[in-house]
Amino acid sequence: MPEHREAAAGYHRYHIPTQPAPDIEKWPSRFKVKVRRSGLAKLLIKEVFHYRGRKDVILSRPCMYGVFSGPVGGFMPREEHCVGCLRCTTEFPEFVRIEHNPERRSLGDSYFTFNYVDQIAYEASSGLVPVRGAGYRGKFGGEGWDGMWTDMSEIVRPTRDGIHGRETISTVVDIGFTPNYLEFDPSGQPTGSTPHYLSIQLPIVLDAPQTELAAGVARIYARTAAELDTLVVLPFEYTTGLGEFGDAIVPVVRPEHARRLGQLGFTPRIIEMQGWDEALYAAITTAFPLAIVALRTGFEETDALVSYAQRGIKVFHLLADYHGRSADGGFVLDLIRGAHTAFVDAGIREEVTLLGSGGMIAAEHMPKAMICGLDAVAVDTPLLVALQARFGGECSARGASSFRLPTDLNEAWGVQRLKNLCASWRDQLLEILGAMGLREVRRLRGEMGRAMFMKTLEADAFAGLLGYTEASNG
Ligand code: SF4
């Protein structure tokens, strides 16, 4: 068989296998079901006659989700099954009331609110796309990410069925260096800089906390990244014994690790340097000459990024805190635009790769961050929430262990939860790409023509009108 036929026969479409991975730790239910017992008793008596004693029917009324189907029916509602459809209270307002469970709010913090926690929990346990829209009564704009909308009003959408498999939409992204142009000598051999990059199957990199990790957590992250064909950023200390996932691991090294690089036990394809350090950079390039060296640093360093690129760094992993803020209070959406623009202005944006972490906690934040200029998102706190981590108060500072993971975490469950989350986020990304008519996610980077900002639109529409002020624009 000709070579190209063999290649075609070897083609397989990228797919993330999902399967249910229910919670292992009991979380407070989303809703409190308040039932007045005398009212329920009267209903039951009536229904015993009406349904001629059919226990299964009587105990399942009035909730089709099984909240009233426990051993004593609605006298002890099974609140964990309540989805908040409000059918019961609409049908029997005189004795059923549904309320939000205040305990549920303790699962997140002021930024990663319980609504986001609910969403992640659903995505991680099912691998499905949460369905919203019909009857949505929430806000359509707001602060932060909610102040940015994406334009999906293209008339020609050749790929819009991508999620269902009609036409492939590629989510492959490249991490590394690609020169602006290639040069060749008279014999056709490249003479100048040549591309040096690796490709991953989705624009999601797993960013493990750079703090003390519970036993087995690093392994869950590493195995997930390897099975997804992406990367995981792990503290140097936690890479020991994970050589089998070496291709997927990006060790984070500090100056004190310079002499211990040989202890890694595998040759990394990419390695992250925590902050710029000339001596450490030299040590890494000597120990691993073929590895891509990335710089892990805060968005505060944006002004210096171009100079680091001139010193050899071509991949930047930029960090905001877990609430998406830089030290000077900037929000990650604006910070990404600043970093992207710095490279565009220097004429080398195509040569470098920008990864970003911090404050990107929902599927829709990923395409928005890419439109603002990231090549891929390094996801942090959502992975912890997918593993049912609970926040111990406000969780904004990186490096602080202000979350607690379940004690009975097991590897197969953890890997499936993270894969489910990534599958759900990828499907949501495909929906957006399809609606925009884009056939590959690489085209989304810096595509500001797809973005609309609430502030700008409101200013365009209302500036000059009585009562409109910039401040009222939120
Ligand atoms: S709100 Fe819906 S799901 Fe919850 S108890 Fe009532 S009927 Fe059942």
Which atom of ligand 1 is found nearest the CA of 85? 2
Please, are residues 305 and 382 in contact by the beta-carbon 8 Å criterion?
Answer: no
Q: Which of 98, 100, 101 to mutate to test the pocket of ligand 1 (most atoms within 8 A of CB)?
A: 98
Structure token digits, residue 68: 């009233």
294 and 388 in a common domain: yes
Going from the Cα of 354 to the center of ligand 1, the distance in angstroms, rounded, reads 45
Supply the pLDDT for residue 125: 96
Going from the Cα of 44 to the center of ligand 1, the distance in angstroms, rounded, reads 17
The residue contributing the CA closest to ligand 1 atom 3 is 82
Which atom of ligand 1 is found nearest the CA of 83? 3
The verdict on residue 289 lying in a domain is yes
Which three-class secondary structure state does DSSP give residue 131?
coil
283 and 175 in a common domain: yes
Going from the Cα of 64 to the center of ligand 1, the distance in angstroms, rounded, reads 8
182 and 72 in a common domain: no
The verdict on residue 301 lying in a domain is yes
Which atom of ligand 1 is found nearest the CA of 81? 3
The residue contributing the CA closest to ligand 1 atom 2 is 85
Going from the Cα of 94 to the center of ligand 1, the distance in angstroms, rounded, reads 15
Domain count, the chain: 2
The verdict on residue 147 lying in a domain is no
Going from the Cα of 424 to the center of ligand 1, the distance in angstroms, rounded, reads 26
Supply the pLDDT for residue 466: 87
Among 299, 271, 324, CA closest to 143: 324
Among 364, 331, 338, 368, CA closest to 447: 368
Cα separation, 232 vs 245, in Å, equals 10
Which atom of ligand 1 is found nearest the CA of 86? 1
316 and 171 in a common domain: yes
The residue contributing the CA closest to ligand 1 atom 4 is 82
Which atom of ligand 1 is found nearest the CA of 62? 7
CA angle 224, 441, 438 (to 5 degrees): 140
Supply the pLDDT for residue 83: 85
Domain containing 64 equals 31-100
Q: Which of 88, 89, 95 to mutate to test the pocket of ligand 1 (most atoms within 8 A of CB)?
A: 88
The verdict on residue 463 lying in a domain is no
Q: What single-letter DSSP state applies at residue 157?
A: -
The verdict on residue 2 lying in a domain is no
Going from the Cα of 85 to the center of ligand 1, the distance in angstroms, rounded, reads 5
Q: Which of 63, 64, 81 to mutate to test the pocket of ligand 1 (most atoms within 8 A of CB)?
A: 63
Going from the Cα of 65 to the center of ligand 1, the distance in angstroms, rounded, reads 7
The CATH number covering residue 360 comes to 3.20.20.70
Ligand 1: lining residues by beta carbon, under 6 Å: 33, 63, 65, 67, 82-88, 98
CA angle 249, 440, 131 (to 5 degrees): 85
Supply the pLDDT for residue 377: 98
Which atom of ligand 1 is found nearest the CA of 66? 8
Supply the pLDDT for residue 472: 47
93 and 171 in a common domain: no
- C-alpha distance from residue 331 to each of 320, 326, 378, 394, 450 (Å): 8, 7, 16, 17, 20
The residue contributing the CA closest to ligand 1 atom 6 is 88
Please, are residues 197 and 177 in contact by the beta-carbon 8 Å criterion?
Answer: yes
Beta bridge partners of 318: 297, 356
The verdict on residue 48 lying in a domain is yes
Going from the Cα of 270 to the center of ligand 1, the distance in angstroms, rounded, reads 50
Among 221, 181, 236, CA closest to 378: 221
378 and 277 in a common domain: yes
Going from the Cα of 107 to the center of ligand 1, the distance in angstroms, rounded, reads 22
Q: Which of 78, 85, 101 to mutate to test the pocket of ligand 1 (most atoms within 8 A of CB)?
A: 85
Cα separation, 77 vs 68, in Å, equals 5
Supply the pLDDT for residue 2: 46
> DSSP secondary structure string, 251-315?
EEE-GGGGGGGGGGSS--SEEEEES--HHHHHHHHHH-TTSEEEEEEEGGGGGGHHHHHHTT--E
- C-alpha distance from residue 270 to each of 37, 196, 299, 356 (Å): 63, 11, 21, 16
The verdict on residue 356 lying in a domain is yes
Please, are residues 470 and 187 in contact by the beta-carbon 8 Å criterion?
Answer: no
288 and 378 in a common domain: yes
pLDDT tens by residue, the chain, 474 residues: 444 455 556 677 899 999 999 999 999 998 999 999 888 888 878 878 888 777 777 766 778 888 988 777 778 899 988 988 888 899 889 989 999 998 888 888 999 999 899 999 999 999 999 876 556 677 788 889 999 998 876 555 555 555 665 678 899 999 999 999 899 999 999 898 899 999 999 999 999 998 877 768 999 999 999 999 999 999 999 998 999 999 999 999 999 999 999 999 899 999 999 999 999 999 999 999 999 999 999 999 999 999 999 999 999 999 999 999 999 999 999 999 999 999 999 999 999 999 999 999 999 999 999 999 999 999 999 999 999 999 888 888 887 667 889 988 999 999 999 999 999 999 999 988 888 888 899 999 999 988 999 999 999 999 889 888 775 443
184 and 83 in a common domain: no
96 and 173 in a common domain: no
222 and 80 in a common domain: no
295 and 223 in a common domain: yes
Q: What single-letter DSSP state applies at residue 355?
A: E
Beta bridge partners of 205: 378
The verdict on residue 284 lying in a domain is yes
CA atoms within 13 A on the CB side of 251: 28
296 and 391 in a common domain: yes
